Amino acid sequence: MSSLSIANYFPFAGVKVVRQAVHPDASGAMVYLEPDQRYRPRCHECGTPGGQIHSKGHRRIIRDLALADRRSYLQVEYRKVWCWSCGGVRVERLDFAEASCRVTLRLARYIYELCKALPVTTVAEHLGLDPKTVKAIDRMFLEQEFGATDCSGLSILAIDEIAVRRGHSYMTVVLDYQTGRVVWMGEDRNKETLDAFFAQMTAEQKAGIQAVAMDMWEPFINRVKHHCPDAKIVFDLFHLVQGFGRVIDEVRRDEYRKANKPGREVLKGSRYLLLKNAANLKNDQRADLKDLLAVNTTLSAVHPLKDQLKEIYDYSRRGWAKKALDAWCDMASQIDHPEVKRFVGRLRFFEYGILNHCEFPIGTSKLEGVNNKIKVIKRRAYGYHDPEYFALKVKQAFPGKSLPNFSG
């Protein structure tokens, strides 16, 4: 008599394997499970054992992990019990499957692991499941692991927004600067967005925030000052230079409109020559830039200011940084162009956040790297129409690294 048995592959408490059947074309297998009488049934909702059996013989089919490369199904017989704690008839609890789910927990876990690396549609196609089922399973695990906002241990934050759809549709990203963990994501980029984030923090957690890196976006500035008045706001160098790049482009456009035909030929197509970092220019581009600046005095005055603006962030002492900022503003003020003057005024208004970089040499560059990966996640799924699910996927992708513990 053969001792071979597949029962060991189904080590589920409370049930026993009674028989198996294979589809005629060997495309799948059905394993039949019945209640093990040695175990007292438990209420599915509260877990209380020993309720009076209300009825027997109920069956449902549940998808399980594949056997080799063939699909596997379980036909499970279960009971309904009268639960004294719940005060009504309840389905018997099965440790290997949820009452409302048509896949086993171990298959659900496998789906969740696949969804970490693959789009929902790809996983659904691979397993022959409905994409809605796969998404629901993935979301269930994500909410268990990342659903709650963990604000413990935060001291330095980076805040930025990412475009999720065309038409000025944004989500705000809050990053733990020290660990690289995405703490929170919320729709839009207004005051209410950050209010929703800070509402999840205790007064002690808000008081623990020492610095916040961001761009010069006034709704963010306003709410950080309101909720964390003692935190130092640090404006990011990348966004500062990017903002001045837009000023250079406006000057270029105005110079093009004023230029004669030969001058326009030189200015035509020069946008990226003016905005590129000098180290990234090719030899022929350097020659073209030199010719351009030689024929246009306004651009020749504006263009060097871009690299000089970066040098302000090289200082670690506030006094020296202040002198460098003053010198830069004095030079820029000599240029008679409304966009340049407007930028100087903005710089003066927000200079506190630039000088705070001396005390906290941080920026949103780390968050920019995160945003680039977020875009990859979005493209891989051909966009997300469910912002909450999208936020959970991002938090999963950026769990952060543990900081070393030197105590003891």
Cβ atoms of residues 88 and 50 within 8 Å = no
The reported pLDDT for the residue numbered 1 is 39
Tokens of 288: 């073209």
Dist CA 333 CA 341 (whole Å): 6
Cα distance between residue 91 and residue 100, in whole Å: 10
Cβ-proximal residues to 332 (8 Å cutoff; 6+ apart), any chain: 305, 340, 343, 344
**pLDDT 10s digits, 73-88:** 999 998 888 888 888 8
Instruction: Let me know: does 100 contact 86? Beta carbons within 8 Å.
Output: no
Q: Which amino acid is at 302?
A: V
Q: Could you tell me the residue ranges of all domains in the chain?
A: 7-101, 103-146, 156-236+363-397, 237-358
Q: How far is CA 377 from the centre of its chain?
A: 9
Contact 392, 139 (CB under 8 A): yes
With a cut of 50, list the residues of the chain below it in pLDDT: 1-2, 406-408
Q: Cα separation of 293 and 304, whole Å?
A: 10
pLDDT, position 381: 65
SS3 content of the chain, % helix, strand, coil (to 5): 45, 20, 30
Dihedral sign computed on CA atoms, order 258, 263, 265, 268: negative
pLDDT for res 262: 80
Output phi, psi for 201, to 5 deg: -105, 145
At residue 214, φ and ψ (nearest 5 deg) are: -160, 175
Q: Does the domain spanning 156-236+363-397 belong to CATH 3.30.160.60?
A: no
User: What pTM does this model have?
Assistant: 0.82
Angle among Cα 221, 225, 228 to the nearest 5 degrees reads 125
Tokens of 254: 């105005």
Instruction: State whether the Cα torsion 389-393-395-396 is positive or negative.
Output: positive
> How far apart are the C-alpha atoms of 244 and 343, rounded to whole Å?
7
